[in-house]
C-alpha cells in the first residue's frame, strides 16, 4: 500500500468534515471524525514506546516517545470547549489499545469524576481520583514513591491532571510531590499530562516553566497566547474539540484527534 493510500482516506474525511465542524460551533453537534480504531488500524504497528497523540495534517501520526524524557511533562491548554478533557480521554483509549497494563498504566485526577465514567473496563486504569478527596493525595504520594525507586522498570505510568488550576485542593506535601514529578517524572517513566483552562493562566503562571512541551487548543485571548509565546501558532483559528497545535523544533505542528469509538 502506498503512503498516499495509507493516509488519504483519513485526510479526505477530515477535509470534508472541517467546514461542517466550523459551522457547527454554536448550534449543531460536531460531526464525528474518523474513529480511533480506524485510525490506529490504518497506521498499523507502531513502536512499543509510542504514545499516540493524534494525526498531523500531513497524515502522519503524532507520537510521544515514552522512553525519552527530553520532552518533559505535557501541558494541554485552551479555552473552555477547546477539547482538553476529550484529548486526555482519547490519549488513554489509544494507550489502552496499544499497550498491555504491564507496559503502561494511567491514573486521573479531576474535579469532575462524572466526566470520566466508563473507564473501569480498561485494565490499564489505576483509578479516577477527585481532587477534593484524600485518595488524590494518596495516589500522588504512591506514584512519587514508585518513581523515586524506579531505576530499571520498563513500565510507564501516565499521570493525567484534568485542571491544573484545581491543585489548590491538594495538601502542601502533595503539591511538593507533584512538583518533583513534573521535574523528574519522565526520567523515571512517570509522564504528567496536564490540562489548564487558559482563563486561569495568569494565576498559574509560576507553573508554566515546568512544561517544555505545550499543546494548544482553540484560544482567542491575546494575553494567554503571548504568555505561551505562541503567536505564530495562531490558536484562534483551531477548530474547537478536534484540532490542536504544538511546537516541533522551530515550527508549529497542527494535528487533529480521532473520535473515541
Is pTM, for the whole model, over 0.75? Answer: yes
H-helix segments, the chain:
3-23, 36-43, 84-98, 134-149, 172-184, 205-208, 222-227
Report if residue 37 sits inside a domain: yes
CATH code of 87's domain: 3.40.50.300
pLDDT in tens, 66-107: 999 999 999 999 999 999 999 999 999 999 999 999 999 999
Under a CB-based contact definition with an 8 Å cutoff, are residues 157 and 146 in contact? yes
Report if residue 100 sits inside a domain: yes
Tell me, what's the pLDDT at 172?
95
DSSP-based three-state secondary structure for 214: strand
Report if residue 158 sits inside a domain: yes
Report if residue 261 sits inside a domain: no
Residues in a beta bridge with 104: 156
Report if residue 47 sits inside a domain: yes
Tell me, what's the pLDDT at 249?
86
Sheet of 125-130, strand order:
61-65, 50-56, 251-256, 243-248, 213-216, 74-78, 190-197, 156-162, 104-110, 125-130
Q: What percent of the chain has pLDDT over 90?
A: 81
Report if residue 178 sits inside a domain: yes
Residue 225, CA distances (Å) to 199, 240, 246 in order: 11, 16, 13
Under a CB-based contact definition with an 8 Å cutoff, are residues 37 and 261 in contact? yes
Q: Report the domain count for the chain.
A: 1
Q: Which residue segment(s) compose the domain that 170 sits in? A: 3-256
pLDDT category at 118 given cuts 50, 70, 90 is confident
Does 134 have pLDDT greater than 80? Answer: yes
Report if residue 138 sits inside a domain: yes
Report if residue 215 sits inside a domain: yes
Under a CB-based contact definition with an 8 Å cutoff, are residues 214 and 247 in contact? yes
Rounded average pLDDT over 215-224 = 96
Does 163 have pLDDT greater than 70? Answer: yes
Amino acid at each position: 500500500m502506498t503512503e498516499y493510500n495509507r493516509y488519504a482516506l483519513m485526510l479526505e474525511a477530515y477535509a470534508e468534515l472541517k467546514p461542517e465542524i466550523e459551522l457547527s460551533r454554536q448550534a449543531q453537534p460536531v460531526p464525528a471524525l474518523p474513529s480511533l480504531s480506524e485510525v490506529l488500524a490504518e497506521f498499523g504497528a507502531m513502536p512499543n514506546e509510542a504514545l499516540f497523540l493524534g494525526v498531523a495534517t500531513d497524515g502522519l501520526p503524532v507520537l510521544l516517545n515514552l522512553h525519552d524524557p527530553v520532552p518533559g511533562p505535557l501541558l494541554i491548554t485552551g479555552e473552555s470547549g477547546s477539547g482538553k478533557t476529550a484529548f486526555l480521554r482519547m490519549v488513554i483509549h489509544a494507550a489502552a489499545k496499544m499497550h498491555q497494563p504491564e507496559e503502561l498504566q494511567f491514573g486521573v485526577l479531576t474535579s469532575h469524576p462524572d466526566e470520566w465514567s466508563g473507564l473501569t473496563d480498561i485494565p490499564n486504569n489505576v483509578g479516577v481520583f477527585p481532587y477534593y478527596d484524600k485518595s488524590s493525595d494518596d495516589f500522588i504520594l504512591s506514584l512519587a514513591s514508585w518513581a523515586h525507586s524506579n531505576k530499571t522498570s520498563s513500565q510507564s505510568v501516565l499521570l493525567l491532571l484534568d485542571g491544573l488550576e484545581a491543585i489548590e485542593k491538594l495538601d502542601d506535601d502533595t503539591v511538593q510531590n507533584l512538583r518533583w514529578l513534573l521535574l523528574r517524572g519522565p526520567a523515571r517513566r512517570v509522564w504528567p499530562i496536564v490540562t489548564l483552562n487558559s482563563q486561569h493562566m495568569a494565576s498559574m503562571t509560576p507553573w508554566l516553566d515546568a512544561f517544555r512541551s505545550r499543546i494548544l487548543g482553540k484560544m482567542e485571548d491575546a494575553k494567554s497566547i503571548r504568555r505561551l509565546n505562541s503567536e505564530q501558532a495562531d490558536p484562534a483559528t483551531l477548530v474547537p474539540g478536534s484540532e490542536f497545535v504544538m511546537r516541533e523544533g522551530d515550527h508549529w505542528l497542527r494535528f487533529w484527534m480521532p473520535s473515541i469509538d
